[in-house]
């Protein structure tokens, strides 16, 4: 288990370092203004779906169903075709109605901003079909306990964006964001390529085509979809909260969306490096243990992960809040990113970091629910947490601005953690820790 966690953490660390380099260049070249805002809005929707697919709903519904299915190759083939057809169709619809979609994402934008952002929204959305293919292949690799390809492949998107920034830095800002939008597609294609190579190298059979069997109950698994639909919502609370922040921030002064973006990027580093890396590595082991009716082994894995993860997240929270201004200054304050931007972003960062520990631990204990295929229960918990977030966001946005939105998100994380741990069992946790 430790080896797999280390592999995931190493890959995520490489990707996040490149991501910080990308953000450094972006802050220097674009700054925090309407042009950076429209790119972040354009990338927000496909990035939201990416996180829901790659870090939650699909993987945590697919792996248990795949493990239990007698006809694994046919099952994976049918799931792949059904999802890919739907996502491609959705991408085409978004392209046709790009202005309406853009308005829905950033309702506070004026007509000119909508006009500028709409083409970028249409381009960036085609990242979603590519990232679904990556997520599907990654789930198969995880089942085989191969994590290196997926964890390191995420760096390819950042490399593509860095190259786009370097090539286009002398152009006007709107041309730069066009280059960035196409770089998103290039990065997704590169991720697909390396996963195909890994699948072939490990000789994983996953795709056979037979249109007659697409509707056969023998090869499909309705239980998978019954678990997947609630898991879409249940595993995406933090991401929906971030999306909600962007939507509400469009009503605030120019640059507010960028403050939230840059702060959330720093917040996501320890969350991904520790919490997501641990949950991705742990989930196949817990799921297989539950499948084999070996609950004690699954609890043993959770106990070790809980102790290590709690310590790491606590240290990251303390350091981040104490040195928030220094971190933002060190990472972003150069070029078009001004000292006033540093102060605003640092305030938002501290508010986000308050929720680091509860969000990270909630992700860990949600594995127990997903392994037992209680996705609907997890969705209900997330719905309550999200409702709290919406109410607090509306209360905090006027007096505190962007910082208030981040604080509302963090407080909802405590609600999510409490309700998740309540379903897992506080008594069970105490017994684990005593052992």
Predicted pLDDT of residue 326: 94
d(CA 280, CA 10): 13
Are the beta carbons of 274 and 313 closer than 8 angstroms? yes
Residue found under tokens 């999306």: 243
Average pLDDT for 9-21 = 78
pLDDT of residue 235: 61
Residue 54: band (very low, low, confident or very high) from pLDDT cuts 50, 70, 90: low
Given pLDDT bands bounded at 50, 70 and 90, which one contains residue 327?
A: very high
What is the reported pLDDT for 140? 84
Average pLDDT over the chain, rounded to whole?
A: 81
Within 10 Å of residue 202's Cβ, how many Cβ atoms?
12
pLDDT, residue 208, reads: 54
Percent of the chain with pLDDT over 90: 23
Res 237: pLDDT: 66
Select, from the ranges 241-250, 349-358, 375-384, 421-430, the one with the highest average predicted confidence (pLDDT).
349-358
Q: Is the pLDDT of residue 396 over 90?
A: yes
Specify the DSSP element, H or E, that contains 302. Answer: helix 295-322
User: What's the whole-number mean pLDDT along residues 137-163?
Assistant: 84
C-alpha pair distances (Å), 99 with each of 96, 111, 185, 302 = 9, 10, 20, 46
Q: How far is CA 345 from CA 13, 49, 278, 322, 409, in A?
A: 22, 25, 28, 14, 16
Structure tokens, 325: 């201004």
Give the residue with greater pLDDT, 89 vs 102.
Answer: 89
384, 391, 407 from 397: Cα distances, Å: 20, 10, 10
Confidence of residue 207 (pLDDT cuts 50, 70, 90): low
Question: Which whole number is the average pLDDT over 286-290?
Answer: 75
Q: In the chain, pLDDT over 70 holds for what percent of residues? A: 85
Local confidence band at 211 (pLDDT 50, 70, 90 cut-offs): very low
Predicted pLDDT at 132: 87
Specify the pTM.
0.68
Give 303 or 106, the one with higher predicted confidence: 303
Choose from 160-164, 221-225, 237-241 the range with maximum mean pLDDT: 160-164
- 1: confidence class by pLDDT, cuts 50, 70, 90: low
**Max mean pLDDT range (4-13, 53-62, 191-200):** 191-200
């Amino acid at each position: 288990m430790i080896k797999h966690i280390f592999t995931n953490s190493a890959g995520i660390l490489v990707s996040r370092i490149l991501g910080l380099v990308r953000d450094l260049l972006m802050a220097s070249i674009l700054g925090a203004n309407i042009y950076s805002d429209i790119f972040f809005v354009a990338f927000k929707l496909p990035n939201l779906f990416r996180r829901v697919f790659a870090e939650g709903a699909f993987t945590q519904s697919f792996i248990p169903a795949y493990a239990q299915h007698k006809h694994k190759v046919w099952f994976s083939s049918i799931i792949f075709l059904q999802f890919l057809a739907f996502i491609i169709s959705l991408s085409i619809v978004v392209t046709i109605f790009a202005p309406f979609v853009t308005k829905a994402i950033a309702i506070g934008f004026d007509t000119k901003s909508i006009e500028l952002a709409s083409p970028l929204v249409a381009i960036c959305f085609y990242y979603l079909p590519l990232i679904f293919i990556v997520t599907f292949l990654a789930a198969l690799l995880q089942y085989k306990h191969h994590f290196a390809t997926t964890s390191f492949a995420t760096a390819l998107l950042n490399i593509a964006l860095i190259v786009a920034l370097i090539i286009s830095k002398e152009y006007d800002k709107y041309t730069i964001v066009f280059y960035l939008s196409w770089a998103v597609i290039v990065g997704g294609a590169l991720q697909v390529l390396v996963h195909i190579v890994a699948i072939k190298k490990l000789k994983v059979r996953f795709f056979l085509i037979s249109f007659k069997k697409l509707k056969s109950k023998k090869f499909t698994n309705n239980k998978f979809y019954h678990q997947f639909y609630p898991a879409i919502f249940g595993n995406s609370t933090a991401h929906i909260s971030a999306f909600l922040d962007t939507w509400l921030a469009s009503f605030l002064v120019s640059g507010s969306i960028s403050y939230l973006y840059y702060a959330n990027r720093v917040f996501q580093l320890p969350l991904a490096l520790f919490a997501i890396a641990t949950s991705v590595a742990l989930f196949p082991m817990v799921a297989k243990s539950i499948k084999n009716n070996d609950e004690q082994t699954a609890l043993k894995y959770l106990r070790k992960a809980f102790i290590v993860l709690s310590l790491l997240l606590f240290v990251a929270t303390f350091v981040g809040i104490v040195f928030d201004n220094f971190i933002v200054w060190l990472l972003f304050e150069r070029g078009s990113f001004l000292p006033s931007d540093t102060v605003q972003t640092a305030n938002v960062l501290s508010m986000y970091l308050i929720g680091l520990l509860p969000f990270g631990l909630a992700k860990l204990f949600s594995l127990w629910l997903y392994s037992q295929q209680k996705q609907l229960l997890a969705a209900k918990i997330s719905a309550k947490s999200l409702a709290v977030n919406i109410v607090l966001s509306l209360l905090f946005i006027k007096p505190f601005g962007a910082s208030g939105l981040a604080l509302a998100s963090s407080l909802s994380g405590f609600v999510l953690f409490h309700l998740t741990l309540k379903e897992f069992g506080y008594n069970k946790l105490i017994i684990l820790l005593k052992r």
